[in-house]
Structure 1
Amino acid sequence: MNGYAGNKDDLLKRLSRAEGQVRGIARMVDNDKYCIDILTQVSAATSALETVALSLLADHLSHCVAEAAAEGGPVAEEKIREANEAIARLVRS
């Protein structure tokens, strides 16, 4: 079971809203809307996706990484490495 299983419905709602925001941004570009208005919406969509990413990361750390850490050994090392790489990707984006 994935760590986000208990949070799945909330994640899907957030992703659906973000998807709608991105479609709205595409319409704005298609309709030649003002650049700053488009950038404002891009910022909102980015923030929505970052919220999803942070929620998934928190679930991963508290479920997958915590279980692997309790086991120890190479499984724990791998999960910690994966988490570090995921955090680095989020920080860079």
Structure 2
Amino acid sequence: MSEATVSPLPTRGYSAEKDAYLTRLRRVEGQVRGIARMVDEDKYCIDILTQVSAINKALHAVSMGLLEDHIAHCVVGAAQESQISGNDENVQEKVREATAAIGRLLR
């Protein structure tokens, strides 16, 4: 019987920091549940807004880290490949992706 080959998952720019991202996101998840509890318990509006602000800041940090990882890994990798191949279509696509992501973060 031949053994089927399993192709490895692609390495992502955030792979080295995956555990840290997951930890941050679990913390945010807990904060969101905490806010839901605060609303359910009729807590003071400003206290809830303070917690919402903390969540936004945490998600912003995750977003910026992922964007930095994308540029450092995906864009730079595409640029290196384009130097070898002479075809810069992939690098242009990665730059467009990064630009679109920045645009979404700024909205």
Matching residue of 2:105: 90
By how many angstroms is 1:75 displaced?
Answer: 0.5
The 5 Å alignment of 1:50-61 reads 50-61=60-71
Q: Distance in 2 between matches of 1:38 and 1:13?
A: 23
Secondary structure of the structure 2 residue equivalent to 1:55: helix
The 5 Å alignment of 1:20-39 reads 20-39=30-49
Q: Which runs of 5+ in 2 are unaligned?
A: 1-10, 83-87
The 5 Å alignment of 1:72-83 reads 72=82, 73-83=88-98
Q: How many corresponding residue pairs?
A: 92
Counterpart amino acid of residue 77 in structure 1: Q
Q: Distance in 2 between matches of 1:71 and 1:87?
A: 23
Greater RCO, CA 8 A, separation 6+: 1
Q: Distance in 2 between matches of 1:91 and 1:68?
A: 25
1:11-49 CA-to-partner distances (Å, cap 9, x unmatched) read: 000000000000000110111110000000000011111
By how many angstroms is 1:71 displaced?
Answer: 2.3
Matching residue of 1:42: 52
Matching residue of 1:67: 77
- Structure 1 runs of 4+ aligned residues shifted over 6 Å read none
TM-score, scaled relative to structure 1: 0.96
Does residue 15 (structure 1) correspond to residue 25 (structure 2)? The answer is: yes
By how many angstroms is 1:69 displaced?
Answer: 1.6
